[in-house]
Amino acid sequence: MQQKEQEQQAIRFVILGVPYSIRPSEDLSAEDIHELIEYVKGLVSSYSQKGFDEQKIPLLVAFHIADELRRLQASYETPLHRLVEKLHVAIEDAD
């Protein structure tokens, strides 16, 4: 029971001097949250070291992550789209 309570406790962290907390859920474990925090902190640190203004860093990090998502979607969607088209043609040829 105590381990379950610890798993549900909010995880507290600070980025750019601002405190945050995230509570684990069924879809997002404490381990996942810690991994995401470290990833975001790494990006924030990278932009900080490049001399960007602290007020602009959150937006730069958001665009960085959005671009990663866009690239990943493109790399997966294009091959899947081609596969679906090939299957469609194969099904039509079978008729």
Residue 47, number of CB atoms within 10 A of its CB: 19
- How many domains are contained in the chain? 1
Q: Mind listing the pLDDT tens digit for each residue in 42-92?
A: 999 999 999 999 999 999 999 999 999 999 988 877 777 777 887 877 887
Instruction: Report helix, strand or coil for 12.
Output: strand
Residues 43, 64 contacting (CB under 8 angstroms): yes
Residues 34, 9 contacting (CB under 8 angstroms): no
Helix (H) or strand (E) holding 91: helix 57-94
> Is pLDDT of 11 > 70?
yes
- Report how far residue 64's alpha carbon sits from residue 61's, in angstroms, rounded to the nearest whole number: 5
> Chain-centre distance of CA 47, in angstroms?
17
Give the structural domain span for 16: 2-94
pTM tops 0.85, yes or no: no
